[in-house]
C-alpha cells in the first residue's frame, strides 16, 4: 500500500516546477452544507521522514480523529509555504450541480493561495479531479487518472495531475484534505449551533445523512442549507 509521501511532488520539483500545490475537497456526499476545498503548497527543500512529526499525523483526513486533524491543521498552516480554502455554496450546488460547484470551490482555494504568494502556483496535484478553467494551469489532452492499475509517466505538457486516492499518497493532497475538513467541520458546527438548526444535529454529523439527520428532515422539512437533489432522492425513497 502506498504511504503518504512527497513522491509525486519530488518528480515535479525535479522538472523545475517549484510551486506545486496539493488540492482536495470534503463534503461532497453530505445532505447539507457547502463543499469545501483546500490547497496547500510546501517548499521543495522540505525534509520530513515518515508521516508523524512530534505528534502530528498527516494522512487522508477521513483516517484521522477530530483531535488529530486539529493538531495537523495547525502544523500545516505553520509549516506550509502557503495554503488556501475555497467554498462551493449550497446555492451553487442546487443551481449548478455538485461537479460545477466543486470545480468553483477548487478555483477559489487556488486563488486564495495565489493571493498570498508573490508568484503563482505552477503545478497542481489533485485527488481524482482535473479542474477546468484555471489560468496558466492547463489540463493535458492525454491525461488519465494515476492509480496502481494505471501508473504512467507524468505528462508535463499538462499543469495538473489527478491521482486516485491522492489523499492517501501525496503529502500535499493529504494536507489539503485536512485543512478543508477542519474548516468545514467548524463551519457546520457554527451553523448547527443556531437554535433553528440544532434539531438536525449538524454539530455532530456535519451535514451527513445520519439517522438523526434523516429523521429530522422527515419531521421538520428542509432548510436553505440542504442540497435539494440529495434530500429529494432520500425523501422519495423514505416515503
- Please tell me the distance from the alpha carbon of residue 63 to that of residue 69, in angstroms, as a whole number: 9
Q: Rounded to whole angstroms, what are the CA distances from 7 to 20, 98, 127, 168, 208?
A: 12, 30, 15, 12, 33
Q: Which residues are annotated as a binding site for a divalent metal cation?
A: 24-25, 127
Q: Which residues are annotated as a binding site?
A: 24-25, 127
The answer to whether 38 and 175 have CB atoms below 8 angstroms apart is: yes
- Please tell me the distance from the alpha carbon of residue 206 to that of residue 186, in angstroms, as a whole number: 9
The answer to whether 147 and 141 have CB atoms below 8 angstroms apart is: no
- Please tell me the distance from the alpha carbon of residue 83 to that of residue 177, in angstroms, as a whole number: 11
Amino acid at each position: 500500500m502506498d504511504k503518504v509521501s512527497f513522491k509525486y511532488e519530488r518528480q515535479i520539483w525535479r522538472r523545475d516546477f517549484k510551486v506545486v500545490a496539493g488540492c482536495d475537497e470534503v463534503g461532497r456526499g453530505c445532505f447539507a452544507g457547502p463543499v469545501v476545498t483546500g490547497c496547500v503548497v510546501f517548499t521543495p527543500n522540505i525534509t520530513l521522514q515518515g508521516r508523524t512529526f512530534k505528534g502530528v499525523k498527516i494522512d487522508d483526513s477521513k483516517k484521522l480523529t477530530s483531535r488529530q486533524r486539529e493538531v495537523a491543521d495547525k502544523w500545516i498552516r505553520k509549516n506550509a509555504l502557503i495554503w488556501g480554502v475555497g467554498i462551493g455554496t449550497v446555492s451553487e450546488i442546487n443551481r449548478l450541480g455538485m461537479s460545477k460547484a466543486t470545480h468553483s470551490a477548487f478555483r477559489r482555494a487556488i486563488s486564495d493561495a495565489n493571493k498570498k504568494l508573490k508568484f503563482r502556483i505552477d503545478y497542481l496535484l489533485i485527488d481524482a479531479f482535473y479542474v477546468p478553467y484555471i489560468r496558466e494551469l492547463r489540463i493535458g489532452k492525454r491525461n488519465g487518472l494515476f492509480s496502481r492499475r494505471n501508473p504512467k509517466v507524468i505528462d508535463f505538457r499538462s499543469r495538473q495531475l489527478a491521482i486516485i486516492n491522492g489523499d492517501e499518497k501525496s503529502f500535499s493532497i493529504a494536507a489539503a484534505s485536512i485543512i478543508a475538513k477542519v474548516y468545514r467541520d467548524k463551519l457546520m458546527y457554527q451553523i448547527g449551533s443556531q437554535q433553528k438548526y440544532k434539531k438536525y444535529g449538524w454539530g455532530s454529523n456535519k451535514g451527513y445523512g445520519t439517522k438523526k439527520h434523516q429523521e429530522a428532515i422527515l419531521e421538520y422539512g428542509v432548510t436553505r442549507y440542504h442540497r435539494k437533489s440529495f434530500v429529494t432522492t432520500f425523501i422519495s425513497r423514505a416515503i
